[in-house]
Amino acid sequence: MPGMVLFGRRWAIASDDLVFPGFFELFLRVLWWIGILTLYLMHRGKLDCAGGVLLSSYMIVLIVLLAFVICNVLAIVCVSMKGTICNPGPRKSMSKLLYIRLALFLPEMVWASLGAAWVAEGVQCDKTVVNGIIATVIVSWIIIVATLVTIIIVFDPLGGKMSPYSSAGPSHLDSHESSQLFNGLKTAATSVWETRIKFLCCCIGQDDHTRVAFSSTAELFSTYFSDTDLVPSDIAAGLALLHQQQDNISNNQEPAEVITHSPEPSQEADLDAELENCRHYMQFAAAAYGWPLYIYRNPFTGLCRIGGDCCRNRTTDYDLVGGDQLNCHLGSILQTTKLQYRDFIHISFHDKVYELPFLVALDHRKESVVVAVRGTMSLQDILTDLSAESETLDLECEVEDCLAHKGISQAARYIYRRLNDDGILSQAFSVVPEYRLVIVGHSLGAGAAALVAIMLRNVYPQVRCYAFSPPRGLLSKSLHEYSKNFIVSLVLGKDVIPRLSVTNLEDLKKRILRVIAHCNEPKYKILLQGCWYELFGGNPSNFPTELEGANQGDLTQPLLGEQTLLTHCSPAYSFSSDSPLDSPHKYPPLYPPGRIIHLEEEGSSGRFGYCSTAQYSAKWSHEAQFSKILIGPKMLTDHMPDILMRALDRVVSDRVAHGGASNVDVV
């Protein structure tokens, strides 16, 4: 940080990113050099054959060339280890070393080509020598190809536009020129991101919704990264430091600092009832994922259980539409929910951008008509997730400022039209008019389920919604308060999705910038210590995250858009909030739906995934508890539906065993 400037353009790699690849190449080169030298010294007396002089010359030149390359790579590694992330001054000679390294590739390619030509001619010499030369030629071309692939990966399409400002920063420009610079970069970046997204999603078609999603996603990414000069390894180092800093603060926090009070009996009973409902309806949310999740949860027996259904043809007898392997989906749904074929009104696995799969079933145990919406499982769903602008909902209720996540609200409108206009709910309630409506979903499906419940509440006043691990960036503040009357959200541990919103991502970016700017360790040490900490734990206070006062003046140009850090680099400095993502019109603060039950793990039972010995506490939590993204090994695994189901089963079982009085808290 910042990205290196070579050949007049910026590249998506920093001068301190070459330690690990340099060590790897150095290891290979030294082994290669020792092998060639040993081969030459042991077999030089056997090179008096036809073509032997050429092979002898080839090995001598290769030994000398490899010696130069090894010295150059060693110098690159040593220089790359100097300085800190935001202090590239000690690494200013890196560009010259890289020019030398690239220049050495020319004789390497020439010599590799000559070696390939000589081998192809079938030199009649000692077989060991010939095999050694063949191995040398193969290794040469592997390294050359790997280098070319690396160059393609770190190529920045915007590098030519940003290089004049990467080293000097925009501070020398007046406000008008600076505005023109950033607007031009943002427009170019949006185009580049849209091209990348179209390439990655080339298999999903090009309808109107998809094109809109491409544009929305590209604009989000270009806006988010337009005001920083970060490379991917800077983000990784920042996340590692944030995790250690976060755990250090948590370890040093006094118990008295956590404000809690004993729950009232009514709250405790309500929590017990809602946890039991969550455990019951989570089965439907999981069933909406179809056979992939069922096989994942039951890797040894799942295929045997649903194999018979996969071979049957029932699509003509049931309202089962969209997608492939429909009967496999139906078999897994039956196994998960324990319902009968006749209990399903509609099952759809039709999957497009802004159009989510869902099912409608009759739950006789709870006397409810259940609508379960599937979460993210495809590229189309990811594009729906990333359409993160806000749009106004047209609701017939006395709520002002009815804003919601654009992509999820579009998906909710699709489900609403199917349920209401196509008569699916009318058909269900014609069979069981006394039942109530319950809408459930997990992840993206939870967000869509919450919005569908809000849309249907005027028609079905008794509607209830259970949103499992919903995204935070879903509803405006007024809709969040309104939804507390009929929506319950369930969040497990440090799950990142219920903390994920554009506002929180912007906060995370500023925290990353602050922590790496205040770090006094080189990047390679941060990454090594971070990997060790993530895998094996340790004492987070042993990892320095702030510059000592004497070193704060060493910062150079860390940022493109946050250049004020250069003059306000003390630990108390607070970053300004003038990021494009802070726009109150396009990306206003959004909140999760309904009341929130938080399942927290007590103690530490493992750094990854679910542990059968884990103990959980359940509590009602305020949305402010999820206003910051927490970093940790379980921030992704806590979102998995199978882990959420196991934790929910465990906490409900424990509460029943203890009469519901233990593991309860209210925040």
- Residues with active-site annotation: 443, 495
Contacts of 56 (CB under 8 A, 6+ apart): 40, 44, 47
Segment holding 534, helix H or strand E: helix 523-536
Distances (CA, A) of 277 to 22, 334, 438: 55, 19, 11
Distances (CA, A) of 313 to 99, 219, 343, 360: 65, 45, 18, 20
DSSP per-residue codes, 368-412: EEEEEE----SHHHHHHHH---EEE---SSS-SS-EEEHHHHHHH
Alpha carbons 203 and 218: distance in angstroms, whole number: 18
In 10 A of CB 150, how many CB atoms? Answer: 12
Place of tokens 């506490």: 617
Alpha carbons 280 and 648: distance in angstroms, whole number: 10
For the stretch 400-405, contacts whose Cβ atoms lie closer than 8 Å and that sit 24 or more positions apart, written own/partner, are 400/478, 401/476, 401/477, 401/478, 401/479, 402/476, 402/478, 402/479, 403/475, 403/476, 403/479, 403/588, 403/590, 404/451, 404/474, 404/475, 404/476, 404/479, 404/590, 405/447, 405/471, 405/473, 405/474, 405/590
Contacts of 380 (CB under 8 A, 6+ apart): 204, 210, 351, 352, 353, 355
570: exposed, middle or buried (Cβ count in 10 Å: 0-12, 13-18, 19+): exposed
Segment holding 487, helix H or strand E: strand 487-492
In 10 A of CB 586, how many CB atoms? Answer: 17
Alpha carbons 636 and 646: distance in angstroms, whole number: 16
User: In this structure, are residues 18 and 91 in contact, taking their beta carbons and an 8 Å threshold?
Assistant: no
User: In this structure, are residues 561 and 179 in contact, taking their beta carbons and an 8 Å threshold?
Assistant: no
344: exposed, middle or buried (Cβ count in 10 Å: 0-12, 13-18, 19+): buried
Alpha carbons 617 and 651: distance in angstroms, whole number: 7
